Amino acid sequence: MAITVLLVDDHELIRQGLRRSFERDGDFEVVGEAGSIADADRLLRITHPDVVVLDVRLPDGSGLKLAANAREHFQQLGIVILTMYAGDEQLFAALEAGASAFVPKNAPSEDVVAAARHAATTPQSFTAKDLADAM
């Protein structure tokens, strides 16, 4: 059974690239795409994905706030935070929001897929490549 994924980023090009990476892997099925908090919130409730890949900055609000809200309502949802702003402050904010993984946008697409796999398997456990350095 495929791991279902919802992609949330306001850049269509990034969503398309992520979709291709997940589809190439074969273990995933992209069940929706959103470019805003409002669309993401609606699609989360309709599609009930295993994992959401979520940009931090969206035109109508903070992806971190959506992550915290999603964690509260969907305990077993894997949440991967994807951001251009990959500093320690963002990493700790993602951890605090209840994310399962944190990946900078300049990481290879395989890292995003691996983070989603981790998030689907252990949604309550946090992983990030720079976590040890940030601590």
Provide block-wise average pLDDT over 10 residues at a time, the chain (135 residues).
96 95 96 97 96 96 96 95 81 92 92 96 86 49
86-90 contact pairs (CB < 8 A, 24+): 86/130, 88/130, 88/134, 90/56
pTM: 0.93
- The amino acid at residue 45 is R
